[in-house]
Amino acid sequence: MNSFSRILALIGKEFIQMLRDRLTFGMMVGIPVMQLLLFGYAINTDPRHLPTLVEMGDNGPASRAILQAMETSDYFDLIGITHSRAETDTALQTGGALFVVTIPPGFERDLLRGDRPQILLDTDASDPVAAGAGTGAFPTLVQEALAPLLGEMTPPVGTVIHRRYNPAGRTALNIVPGLLGVILTMTMAMMTSMALTREAERGTLETLLATPTRPYEVMVGKITPYVFVGFIQVVIMLAGARFLFGVPFLGSAPAFLVCVSLFILVNLSLGFLFSTVARTQMQAMQMTFFVFLPSILLSGFMFPFAGMPAWAQTLGQALPTTHFIRAVRAIMLKGASLGDIVPQIWPLAVIFTVIATVAMLRYRRTLD
């Protein structure tokens, strides 16, 4: 009986502590809710409405029937027309389109003649999951679109599919560069926030500030070591990607360097921001998780970005990991140069500026 009452006392005490630590409590409630919403509503492993461009070599009824069928299939969203191969390449490389359909000149004529013309579908296969369903459905879709027109069950038409960047459709090619973003997010933000919180938690921050050391000196001195740690992680991951998984590195190294540096800075400033809110290292770690989870789920790392509903995409755009992953995939798999990743660089720069500013403002306040 004594044992029972002691256990009850422990249980009671644990609940009191749980409720006192509001951040932990928020975490216990927030994480399941967040997971539920993200997995339930945002994530879609069978993505539809993927951005598609058309190169129209022919504008006859057959061509239009095919495009019509693509639209109604829900897999493709026809967003525009390209006029050249160069334009097609850029669109795929920058992620402007996931598919480009090319209808050759004289398609209608060749089709009616029974010459078995071929329709080309270029897909961005760097993410095999995103492009997979649409690619798989495409040949049947074309057949079914033309069948009523020609009155034949198997119209004389061929489909050629170009799986760009990842012809074998290996998921590792897509996952490994993405992992770089996820791991940097996790470790950089967590390590800095914990390292800074530790100073406050153990009282050593007071010792530092009682010397002529300036607050910004404390910050720079605390954060710089983790920039190095970040680069070491990058080197390890790149070597692993190359030698274990055979992931190519096709693009520009300077572009990669710019991208990685900026992303490391973003995450360090994020960790810095957390440290101005968290009072203990435990809290700092929990706050990291609040960013880490969506960074895995909404960034396009694990599930195709294009498959998410609009609100989830908007949320995803606010995550630095989203832009970083896109840029790194473009550089490594698609051979992008610095100019190609500008659309990813500037959001990162904006996010960095916002986070760093808020963190600095908060930092000054916490000292007093």
Partner 1 sequence: MSDTLAIDVKGLTKSFGETRVVDDFDMQVPKGSIYGFLGPNGSGKTTTIRMMCGLLKPDSGGGTALGHDIIEESRTIKSRVGYMTQRFSLYGDLTVRENLTFMARLHALRNPKLIVADTLEEYDLGPRAHQLADTLSGGWKQRLALAAASMHNPGLLLLDEPTAGVDPKARRDFWDRIRGLARKGVTVLVSTHYMDEAVQCDYIAFIAYGRKLIDAPSADIPERVGLVTWRIEGKGLQPIYDELLNAEGVDQIARFGSALHVSGRDADTLERTVCAYRGREGISVDLAKTGLEEAFIWLMAGSQDNFT
Binding site for partner 1 (CB under 8 A): 202-204, 206-214, 368
* Both structure tokens of 18: 């749980």
Q: What is the DSSP letter of 156?
A: S
CA angle 353, 327, 258 (to 5 degrees): 55
Residue nearer to partner 1 on the CB measure, 84 or 211:
211
Rounded to a whole number of angstroms, the minimum distance from the CB of residue 268 to partner 1 is 21
Residue nearer to partner 1 on the CB measure, 207 or 357:
207
Rounded to a whole number of angstroms, the minimum distance from the CB of residue 231 to partner 1 is 24
- In what side-by-side order are the strands of the sheet with 118-124? 76-81, 50-56, 99-103, 118-124, 158-164
Q: How far is CA 364 from CA 116, 202, 357, in A?
A: 72, 19, 11
Residue nearer to partner 1 on the CB measure, 85 or 364:
364
Rounded to a whole number of angstroms, the minimum distance from the CB of residue 232 to partner 1 is 21
Residue nearer to partner 1 on the CB measure, 209 or 358:
209
Beta carbons of 268 and 353 less than 8 angstroms apart = no
> Which run of H or E residues covers position 78?
strand 76-81
How many CB atoms within 10 Å of residue 132? 19
Residue nearer to partner 1 on the CB measure, 208 or 302:
208
Rounded to a whole number of angstroms, the minimum distance from the CB of residue 209 to partner 1 is 6
Rounded to a whole number of angstroms, the minimum distance from the CB of residue 364 to partner 1 is 12
At position 77, the amino acid (one-letter code) is D
Non-local (6+) Cβ contacts of 304 within 8 A are 44, 45, 47, 127, 129, 130
Residue nearer to partner 1 on the CB measure, 161 or 208:
208
* Both structure tokens of 60: 């006859």
Rounded to a whole number of angstroms, the minimum distance from the CB of residue 307 to partner 1 is 47
Rounded to a whole number of angstroms, the minimum distance from the CB of residue 214 to partner 1 is 8
Rounded to a whole number of angstroms, the minimum distance from the CB of residue 199 to partner 1 is 9
Q: Which pairing describes strands 99-103 and 76-81: parallel, antiparallel, or unpaired?
A: unpaired
* Both structure tokens of 361: 């403002």
Residue nearer to partner 1 on the CB measure, 13 or 202:
202
Residue nearer to partner 1 on the CB measure, 83 or 365:
365
- 223/344 Cα distance (integer angstroms): 24
> Which run of H or E residues covers position 222?
helix 215-243
Nearest Cα neighbor of 327 from 272, 254, 265 is 254
- 223/211 Cα distance (integer angstroms): 19
CA angle 168, 172, 176 (to 5 degrees): 140
Nearest Cα neighbor of 246 from 325, 323, 166 is 166
Residue nearer to partner 1 on the CB measure, 151 or 212:
212
Rounded to a whole number of angstroms, the minimum distance from the CB of residue 205 to partner 1 is 8
